[in-house]
Amino acid sequence: MASLKELKNRINSVNSTKKITKAMQMVAAAKLRKAQDAAEAARPYAERMAAVMANLSTAMSGPDAPRLLVGTGKDDVRLLVVASADRGLCGGFNTNIVRMARERIAALTSEGKTVKILTVGKKGYEQLKRLHKDKIVDHMELKDVKKIDGAVAAQIGDKITALFEAGAFDVCEVISSEFVSVISQKPRAQTLIPARDAIDESVERPDLAGAIYEYEPDEEEILAELLPRYINTVILSALLENAAGEMGAKMAAMDSATRNAGELIDKLNLEYNRTRQAKITKELIEIISGAEAV
């Protein structure tokens, strides 16, 4: 049985932990609202961008079509962009993303495809490098990024585009988290390149009803400008969804940790009082026994 001093020290320690987890919960709750608003505000823009791309790409085919739109015509090498958080203490948020990435790697490898990985976020990199360090071609951390915006997405998009133009891969997928609610975030995989496949997955192509559109400038020039912007938009949306999901998961995890700490403190206080009572009772018995002996 632990001594009274040991129990008192443990109660104080758990109390300190409870204060920390409560503070982290409040900070996450404050950040969540802003991150959620940013993620939800980005969705209409991403959807509208995909709709415009679907309209433009309808008439584009053949050798003149941009490679970012139609791909290389092969599917031998896959690049997986795994976006996670830089920090932990957010429940299974990072683990769920990495689990999907590992399952995807295993499935693609079993099909005989070569897999390459670009990680965004420290936690995803740390978990994936244990088994797939040889597949990681680049890595970016977000710890020094003060705000997730178009510039950050463009930096990642430029890396992906440069790898594609260098012939490093044929198809690119983004694995990240989708923010559903404060207590629900689910990992998802999105095709990024070729953009036509991504558009086919997310947007129903418009029915032109026989109408013919004329563009000025032509479709090729417009797509040359919009395709990199579309890639950056998808990446930005994934990062914003991740940020909201991370704060939601952290708030839920810290709330659970705070409640568990409170329950442990109650148990330790009960044990402390029982031990103290037993010690007092023992001392009284010894005093009475000594008095009777005299």
Tens digit of each residue's pLDDT (9 = 90 or more) over 135-156: 999 998 887 667 888 888 999 9
Q: Is residue 125 part of a domain?
A: yes
Indicate whether 163 belongs to any domain: yes
pLDDT digit string, tens, across residues 217-269: 777 777 778 888 889 998 999 999 999 999 999 999 999 999 999 999 999 99
The answer to whether residue 12 is domain-embedded is: no
Residue at 267 is within a domain:
no
**Model pTM?**
0.83
- The set of residues, in sequence order, having a beta carbon less than 8 Å from that of 72 and lying 6+ positions away, is 167, 170
Report the alpha-carbon distance of residue 25 to residue 257 in Å, rounded. 9
Mean of pLDDT values over 91-98:
91
Q: Is residue 30 part of a domain?
A: yes
Q: How confident is the model at residue 77 (pLDDT cuts 50, 70, 90)?
A: very high
Residue 80 lies in a domain: yes
The model's confidence at residue 286, banded by pLDDT at 50, 70 and 90, is confident
Q: What is the mean pLDDT of the chain?
A: 85
Residue 95 in any domain: the answer is: yes
**pLDDT, tens only, 191-207:** 888 887 777 655 565 56
Provide the annotated active-site residues: 90
> Residue 39 sits in which domain range?
22-253
The CATH number linked to 207 is 3.40.1380.10
172 beta partners: 79, 193
Q: How many residues does the chain have?
A: 294
261 close to 17: Cβ distance less than 8 angstroms: yes
DSSP structural state of residue 86: S
What is the SS3 assignment for 165-194?
Answer: HCCCCCEEEEEEEEEEECCEEEEEEEEEEC
How many domains, the chain?
1
Residue 54 within a domain? yes
